[in-house]
Amino acid sequence: LVGTFLGVFICYCLMDPLANAMEQQARAEHSLLECVRTVLVAQAGGKPTLLAVDAGRKLLHLASKPTFANLDAWVNAMLEQE
């Protein structure tokens, strides 16, 4: 009976939160890579740089998504450096 209790306790109280945290971290990393892929595909398709980066920006979560004005300033700063 103690072994069953410990097994259930470990699965639901320890492993489940750990698995959920790992899943959220993997999803965040996947969405970042998906954003980069979208930018590269749009750029290879012949879109201007700002539109390609904006296409990738649309895939980001609201908490980490920059405004279009910020994005425009960043792209212009990068283009001026070249």
DSSP string, 8-77: HHIIIIIIHHHHHHHHHHHHHHHHHHHHHHHHHHHHHTT--HHHHHHHHHTTS-TTTPPPHHHHHHHHHH
Segment holding 5, helix H or strand E: helix 2-9
pTM, to two decimals: 0.65
The distance in angstroms from the start CA to the end CA of the chain is 69
pLDDT of residue 66: 85
> pLDDT tens for residues 42-77?
999 999 988 998 899 888 888 888 888 898 898 889
